[in-house]
Amino acid sequence: GAGVSQTPSNKVTEKGKYVELRCDPISGHTALYWYRQSLGQGPEFLIYFQGTGAADDSGLPNDRFFAVRPEGSVSTLKIQRTERGDSAVYLCASSGGGQETQYFGPGTRLLVL
Amino acid sequence: AQKITQTQPGMFVQEKEAVTLDCTYDTSDPSYGLFWYKQPSSGEMIFLIYQGSYDQQNATEGRYSLNFQKARKSANLVISASQLGDSAMYFCAMRERGNFNKFYFGSGTKLNVKP
């Protein structure tokens, strides 16, 4: 498909465990964003990549959260020592080609028990 | 202060009627963009319409139009001839030229279209 893909679609883990969430952006899009969406809220910015580098990580809530994009395409959001408050939908979006808007993936629903 | 405010948590509209979803924004940047997204129950955010701060005319995309009132910092979404498939959450968002990396989203409006 031509859209943004995210895996897994759902992830259930236990408090204290480590999780990785993957995002595959639209081919050729240089900009990649991660958002967190809690129930009943709008998406909240976490981090932005331009190419391989994290151009803006000011939205990461604490040092348990980390994201990489080593080859400028696929990105992985990593959460260490998960807490119940991390339960949310994690959305990835990409943009590029001079377009103003960003295009979202279907999200990963993370549940920390 | 909230960058984006959506004051209608939920709205009902009769099928085939028009509906307006409110959005106000707060910025001191003279250059910015305003966006509306639809999020069905499946969860994916779908881009609907974009308005640039310097655009002279209101944006339109099919049944969607954006009522842009710059002096009032208002960017309401108008959906004409509502369809049952329009039932979803709708989010208003903004991006500032001086902080181009970030999109700020409102808390959303849940639209229910009644048959």
For the segment B58-114, what is each residue's pLDDT rounded down to a tens digit?
Answer: 999 999 999 999 999 999 999 999 999 999 999 999 999 888 778 899 999 999 999
| pLDDT band per the 50, 70, 90 thresholds, residue B46 | very high
| Distance (Å) from the alpha carbon of B43 to chain A's nearest alpha carbon | 6
The predicted structure's pLDDT at residue A97:
61
Tens digit of pLDDT for each residue in B10-23?
A: 999 999 999 999 99
- What is the average pLDDT score of chain B? 94
| Nearest by Cα to A9 from A91, A112, A113, A103 | A91
| Distance (Å) from the alpha carbon of B79 to chain A's nearest alpha carbon | 20
Query: Using CB atoms, which residue from A42, A101, A103 is nearest to B107?
Result: A42
Share of chain A above pLDDT 70, in %: 96
Worst-scoring range by mean pLDDT, A57-66, A92-101, B35-44? A92-101
Q: What is the pLDDT averaged over residues B44-56?
A: 93
| Nearest by Cα to A69 from A16, A21, A18, A10 | A21
The residue type of B115 is: P
The predicted structure's pLDDT at residue A99:
61
User: Six-digit token pair at B57?
Assistant: 């005319």
The residue type of B23 is: C
Question: Which residues on chain B are in Cβ contact (under 8 Å) with A91?
Answer: 45
The predicted structure's pLDDT at residue B70:
95
- The 10 Å CB-count burial string (b at 16+, else e) for A52-73 is eebebbebbeeeebebebeeeb
CB atoms within 10 A of CB B69: 11
The residues that bridge with A12 in the sheet, in sequence order, are A111
The residue type of B72 is: R
Tens digit of pLDDT for each residue in A36-90?
A: 999 888 999 999 998 888 888 999 999 999 999 999 899 999 999 999 999 999 9
